[in-house]
Amino acid sequence: MLRKLKERIFLCSIAIATFLTVFPLFHILFSVFSKGLPVLIEGGVEFLTGTLAPPDDGLGGIGPAIIGTFVLTFLSSLIGLPIAVLTGVFSAEYPNSVIGKATKTLLLIMMEFPTILVGLFVMNVLVLPMGSYSAIAGALALAIVMMPYVAVYTEQALKEIPFIYKEGAFALGLKRSIVVFRILMGMAKKGIATGILIGIAKVAGETAPLLFTAGGSSRIYFAGLDKPVGAVPLLIYQLVQQPYENYHQIAWGASLVLMLIFLAIFIPIRLSIKEVKL
């Protein structure tokens, strides 16, 4: 009797703990949709394409921030992905070399590294010498945030390939470069693609590394690589600090847009992971 009671209490406490863990997620989803959707409907297409309204005067749009997010994500992928994938290949192929071991450890540290420090670093090496916030500085900061995720996933995907395939490939008299890039990476492509998407999803929603690098822009769409650029998360951060009611509304609308961008990247990831784990 007592034992059954204990089991009940145990189960109940697990259920409560689980609920407390996932409750914030649902609360976020719910409040973003309930407060953001009316803004999106009211603003219409203009909300996605237009520029920011003046204080206390309608909604305008968050076009520059959306374009900025795409520009930053694209540029950071351009910088970060090739390096990250090669790094992953290296640490998978030479796991016992000194550099290989060090790389793996450093990647894991980088993954957990406070992203605001990445922003500070890029500010020091790029923004201060250039004398201005810029798209390229924002992209570099995001690339640094993205790289460890992509590298670790690439390494993992390559390591999961059974050794017999590697033996089979080398037994055909193929050079290491062909074995790795044509055969092993072909076999690991789903895992690598997953890592790339996770990296992209991660940076599409980042704010901290952009604070001291991208600068933000809510009225000019895109002026050039060396000019400040907007980003949706950055815009949200800036809008909620303003005392104007309409800016808070725009921030909710922008939050919904950000969430939709994130989900558009994240849902394919979940689906592809399901395919990888046979």
Partner 1 sequence: MNAIETVNLRVWYGEKEVIKGVNLKIPEKVCFAIMGPSGCGKSTLLRSFNRLLELNENARVEGDVRLFGRSVYEMDAVEVRRRIGMVFQIPNPFPHMSIYDNVALGVKYNKLVNSKEELDEVVEWALRKAALWDEVKNRLRDKASLLSGGQMQRLCIARALALKPDVLLMDEPTANLDPVSASKIEELIYELKEELTIVIVTHSPAQASRVSDYVAFLYMGKLVEVGRTEDVFENPKNELTERYLTGRMG
269-278 contact pairs (CB < 8 A, 24+): 269/194, 269/197, 269/198, 269/201, 272/190, 272/193, 272/194, 272/197, 273/194, 275/190, 276/157, 276/190, 276/191, 276/194
> Does 278 contact partner 1 by CB under 8 A?
no
State the binding string over 93-132 for partner 1 (x if CB under 8 A, else -). Answer: ---x------------------------------------
Q: Using alpha carbons, select from 230, 225, 229, 211 the residue that is nearest to residue 119.
A: 211
Q: Which is nearer to partner 1, 96 or 241 (CB)?
A: 96
> Does 193 contact partner 1 by CB under 8 A?
no
Q: Which is nearer to partner 1, 166 or 248 (CB)?
A: 166
User: Is the separation of the CB atoms in 80 and 196 below 8 Å?
Assistant: no
- Smallest distance from the beta carbon of 180 to partner 1, in angstroms? 12
- Which residues 37-96 are close enough to bind partner 1 by CB under 8 A? 96
Measured from the Cβ of residue 262, the count of other Cβ atoms closer than 10 Å reads 17
> Does 20 contact partner 1 by CB under 8 A?
no
| H-run or E-run covering 135 | helix 135-159
Enumerate residues 6+ apart whose C-beta is below 8 A from 4. none
Helix axes 98-112, 63-93, angle to 10 degrees: 150
Q: Using alpha carbons, select from 161, 176, 193 the residue that is nearest to residue 77.
A: 193
- Smallest distance from the beta carbon of 101 to partner 1, in angstroms? 13
- Contact range with partner 1 by CB under 8 A, out of 28-36, 71-79, 173-181, 215-223: 173-181
State the binding string over 134-163 for partner 1 (x if CB under 8 A, else -). Answer: ----------------------------xx
> Does 275 contact partner 1 by CB under 8 A?
no
Measured from the Cβ of residue 116, the count of other Cβ atoms closer than 10 Å reads 15
> Does 173 contact partner 1 by CB under 8 A?
yes
Q: Which is nearer to partner 1, 85 or 185 (CB)?
A: 185
> Does 276 contact partner 1 by CB under 8 A?
no
Binding site for partner 1 (CB under 8 A): 96, 162-175, 178, 182-183, 186-187, 189
